[in-house]
Amino acid sequence: MPPVPKMTQETPPTQNEADKTRPYTFHGIELTSFGTQSAGECPFCGKAKKFYISVNTGQHQCKVCGVEGSAIGFLRTLWERSIAATTALDLAALA
């Protein structure tokens, strides 16, 4: 049985971890694995290594701004904030 990594040891996510963290990494969050959690920069407040994701469940939580939930909730929050930030000029540029 391989040794369990220490909480301070930074390792890249394994294949099983990547499955639960894929919605986050797909949207540009670079993660560092710490055992059963991965950490990265919060996409909502911008604080580095304060956005934690459980590699077992895919649940996320930012220790600074308090955003938390599931991967689907994360995607919904990204979508809602992108719609809110879209201006008429942005839409005109797409036409």
Going residue by residue through the chain (95 aa), what tens digit of pLDDT does each one get?
555 545 555 566 555 555 889 999 999 999 999 889 999 999 999 999 999 999 999 999 999 999 999 999 999 999 999 999 999 999 899 88
> Per 3-state DSSP, what percentage of the chain is helix, strand, and coil (rounded to 5)?
35, 20, 45
Q: Could you tell me the pTM of the whole model?
A: 0.72
* Confidence (pLDDT) at 44: 94
Q: Give the separation between CA 48 and CA 37, rounded to whole angstroms.
A: 15
Alpha-carbon Rg for the chain, nearest whole angstrom, is 15
Contact indicator for 40, 61 with CB cutoff of 8 Å: no
